[in-house]
Structure 1
């Protein structure tokens, strides 16, 4: 069976449309709901933060280590302060439970600011990425 040029062109155009629509769906899927964010970001951030603190790193270094080893740098959150606050409460609860003896109140306040700033970036991902 021989495919002519017109049929090839139609197949190529349809392929581009499928790829375009899949790309949109994947982008929308990256905007996480709270439960998914707690599982994908909160648990992992707390785990990596505690791992670094237990090795003797400072809170600042531990925060950076956690950031670089989680999905927080890559996800897009909804622009919702309550969402970020709920995610923070979940994350700090995990940190307190897993390595609270390594974190002072002052360090917790610094960590909260760090997490809030990174959460705001995730909520406004389109402002921070080149177009």
Structure 2
């Protein structure tokens, strides 16, 4: 694999599509990350409250059946856990000004596995966490 393994940093993925959740989780595990998975906002918040070792959250924008979008979730998470690196992904929505929390990054779907790992490394590196991105 081309990506250097991450030092087992713990990452939360919030994605309501089971196939996309499974694929993203496998990609990040293959890159050496410890991965927690959540299909709902409530599950994501429970993971974040219970797992202080989490250093990043990768959240989809369009979470079916949820009152919050991934953008709203990201802002709430940034307010409660400001040390967390945040990567927002979407195939349906582009962020507009002030929609994302400061320091968060955006990745357009669909993306290759290397795109996800590279974007995560970049958002982590911007926070001074983990190896420097390629």
More strand by share: 2
TM-score, normalising length: structure 2: 0.28
Greater relative contact order (Cα 8 A, min sep 6): structure 1 or 2?
1
TM-score by length of 1: 0.29
Instruction: From the two aligned structures, give the one with the greater helix fraction.
Output: 1
